[in-house]
Amino acid sequence: MAAGTVSVPFDIYRYEPGKDSAPRYQRYTLTLTPHTPVLTALLQIRSEIDPTLGLRYSCRSAICGSCAMQINSKSRLACETQVGPEFERHGRIVLEPMRNQPVLRDLVVDQSPFWREYHKIEPHLKLDPRRPMPEGKPTPMTPAEVERFKETPRCIACAACYSACPAAEADPSFPGPMALAKLYRFAVDPRDTAHDERLLRIQPNGLWLCLRCHLCTEACPKDVRPSERIRDLKEMAIAVQGGTEHGSKHAVGFKENLKGAGQLHEMKLVRATFGLGGMVGQVGQGIRVWRKKPEIMKRPRPIDGLDELEKIYEALDPPPKEGP
Amino acid sequence: MKLAYYPGCLAQESAKELDMATRYVCRSLGIELVEFPNFSCCGSGFVDEANEVLNIAINARNLAIAERAGLDILTICSTCQGMLTLAKVRMQDPAVKGRVDAALKPLGIEYRGTVEVKHLLRVLTEDVGLPAIKAKVKRPLQGMKVGAFYGCHLLRPADEMQSESGEEPHSFEDLIAAVGATPVDYRGRVMCCGFPILFVKPNTANSIAGRQILDAKAHGADAMATPCPLCHTSLDAYQNQAGKEVGRRLDMPVFHLPQVVALALGAAPEELGLSRHLVRTDGALAKVHSTASA
């Protein structure tokens, strides 16, 4: 083995639906320098060992977003992930297709679920027809207005966030991190005139299924931080509509609940979110928990200095303005 | 070692067993807990969704309480850890700090950002250290396979939480090994428990919890353990619902992190409130006995 190289075993997911009865993992071992990108290793496997290996790639420079896959269970771009640290940590490199999208062949997935959600949010400027953009003239924005987009324009639509998302995995009605980050980008664009409509349309299943687990933010190769923009959208949606969905009701209800004693009143919160009627469905579970943990019914002891908390609320959480 | 004890709401309410176990562990390892009856709830991530600046101010107040006493904060909940840390991070933004200070200063509260917020997991693995814990183990948990379940806010976003890793932590497994049990490696260990949407869409939340429990089971876990009482609620209190969603009887005991440590330090199950769990833990504990006597 040449100096500075390591022998790296790759276990690669192989499956062609309709042809193979079940997925299998095929091992290829390569001698590589630690800084070799995973994509380079894959191309070497394909050109020197096995031309049947299915993979998708294009630019090799973390710009096109084509080569996202699972590398040792993390959703990553193969072109910018080096083999060294992965091998060091896991002793091998397991490569699997992205999650939450059906496999077409080996490491190639059908991205239609991801793009379907992207198109649903209508990712384009919606202008007021009564106030068309002046033809041939730019529509300037201030630096502060551009700053509000935050990191969202960097997105390369690689779908790594969608692959990492446990909400998308459990509930296909969730649009996924990328679509929502893109929605945010238009919801703060001063030229767009459909802000409120965008926010209302995405509720309830759109926004409030986000688990704020931040797995998307870890997976994103461009630091778009989708989970943090989804948080922004939630606050914006509450400002437009108040607490009307289960999700927004729960967030607003929690905020109010905390003001009461400075500590959570568990049962009161459940009632605020589900309403008395909705609680009927929770009765069986409630009794099961109460038998073991009777404290769930208890009113919490108010904290010392509750007045300080009340003053903080007065200063930073003024009651919503009366509508017209 | 002396720390400002921030138990969080659940450990004072439905997860009182977590508080019991924490006190046992700290007593055994010489960690003095200083209590502050003026600490408020951290907002649990929900207040952050409703009003970000308010959430920062609430937690800046909590941080300032410990700051005045000159103590670092000990948390026993991944979400409390996350929210208090997030407030510290956001307060570095002068615009945010200006708004929050304007609300705190009239109350005589000064926030300087000098305290560290440490979860019990970090205090045990970094400050006390695994060799010191090993030296105090009276009953190694040999034979019990435990799947660590970290809880999102302890880890992510990794840059803001300054966590060991967003997706590939190992300190909890190291701790489990140090008390004699066998850590189980499974993908679900860093996944979400579903709790944040338990009151938004219960079926989806339960199905997410069920997936992680099934994953731990498939990798041979006799029990799971978590540093977060919200995860514990999803994984233990709602396990029967989770089982319905994934179509399996799960039967997976779920410990709070300090319960695992306390058991090895010699605590009796009654001292740790194990009977308060919805899923019985004796099956997992029997693994320890059977191996120890074999």
pLDDT, tens only, A115-167: 999 999 999 889 888 877 778 888 888 999 999 998 999 999 999 999 999 99
In tens, the pLDDT along A255-288 reads: 999 999 999 988 888 887 777 777 777 788 888 8
Can you name the residues that pair with A190 across neighbouring β-strands?
none
Q: Does B49 touch chain A (CB under 8 A)?
A: yes
- Give the confidence band of A298 by pLDDT, cuts at 50, 70, 90: confident
What's the pLDDT score for residue B293?
Answer: 45
Q: Please report, in tens digits, the pLDDT of each residue of chain B (294 residues total).
A: 999 999 999 999 899 999 999 999 999 999 999 999 999 999 999 999 999 999 999 999 999 999 999 999 999 999 999 999 999 999 999 999 999 999 999 999 999 999 999 999 999 999 999 999 999 999 999 999 999 999 999 999 999 999 999 999 999 999 999 999 999 999 999 999 999 999 889 999 999 999 999 999 999 999 999 999 999 999 999 999 999 999 999 999 999 999 999 999 999 999 999 999 999 999 999 999 755 444
Does residue A49 have a pLDDT over 90? yes
Rounded Cα distance between B172 and B148, Å, is: 6
Mean pLDDT along residues A196-224: 93
CB contact under 8 A, A309 and B100: no
What's the pLDDT score for residue B290?
Answer: 58
Residue of B16, B35, B42, B49 best to disrupt the A interface, most CBs of A under 10 A? B49
pTM as predicted: 0.95
Put simply, the chain B residues between 175 and 214 with a CB less than 8 A from any chain A CB are: 187, 190-192, 194, 196-197, 199-201, 204, 207-208, 211
What's the pLDDT score for residue A321?
Answer: 63
Rounded Cα distance between B230 and B9, Å, is: 10
What's the pLDDT score for residue B294?
Answer: 41
Mean pLDDT over the full length of chain A: 92
Put simply, the chain B residues between 9 and 48 with a CB less than 8 A from any chain A CB are: 9-10, 12-16, 37-41, 43-48
B58-96 core/surface letters (b: 16 or more CB in 10 A; e: else): bbbbbbbbbbeeebbbbbbbbbbbbbbbbbbbbbeeeeb
- Give the confidence band of A246 by pLDDT, cuts at 50, 70, 90: confident
Q: Does B247 touch chain A (CB under 8 A)?
A: no
What's the pLDDT score for residue A201?
Answer: 87
Does residue A51 have a pLDDT over 90? yes
By the 8 A CB rule, do A106 and A16 touch? yes
Q: How far from chain centre, in Å, is Cα B190?
A: 13
In chain A, whose CA is at the least distance from the CA of B157? A214
Q: Which residue has the tokens 């031309």?
A: A51
Q: What is the DSSP string of A267-297?
A: HHHHHHHHHHHHHGGGHHHHHHHHHH-GGGG
Measured N-to-C along each axis, helices A246-261 and A306-316 cross at an angle, to the nearest 10 degrees, of: 140
> What's the complex ipTM?
0.95
Rounded Cα distance between B193 and B205, Å, is: 7
By the 8 A CB rule, do B56 and B99 touch? no
Residue of B17, B35, B46 best to disrupt the A interface, most CBs of A under 10 A? B46
By the 8 A CB rule, do A62 and A77 touch? yes
In tens, the pLDDT along A57-109 reads: 999 999 999 999 999 999 999 999 999 999 999 999 999 999 999 999 999 99
By the 8 A CB rule, do B256 and B235 touch? no
Name every chain B residue with its beta carbon within 8 A of the beta carbon of A166.
191-192, 194, 208, 211
Name every chain B residue with its beta carbon within 8 A of the beta carbon of A308.
38, 61, 107, 109
Q: What is the DSSP string of chain B?
A: -EEEEE-HHHHHTTTHHHHHHHHHHHHHHTPEEEE-TT-----TTHHHHH-HHHHHHHHHHHHHHHHHHT--EEE-SHHHHHHHHHHHHHTTSHHHHHHHHHHHGGGT--------EEEHHHIIIIIIIHHHHHHH-SS--TT-EEEE---HHHHSSHHHHT-S-SS---HHHHHHHHTT-EE---GGGGS--SGGGTTT-HHHHHHHHHHHHHHHHHTT-SEEEES-HHHHIIIIITHHHHHHHHTS-----EEEHHHHHHHHHT--GGGGTGGGSSS--HHHHHHHHHHHH-
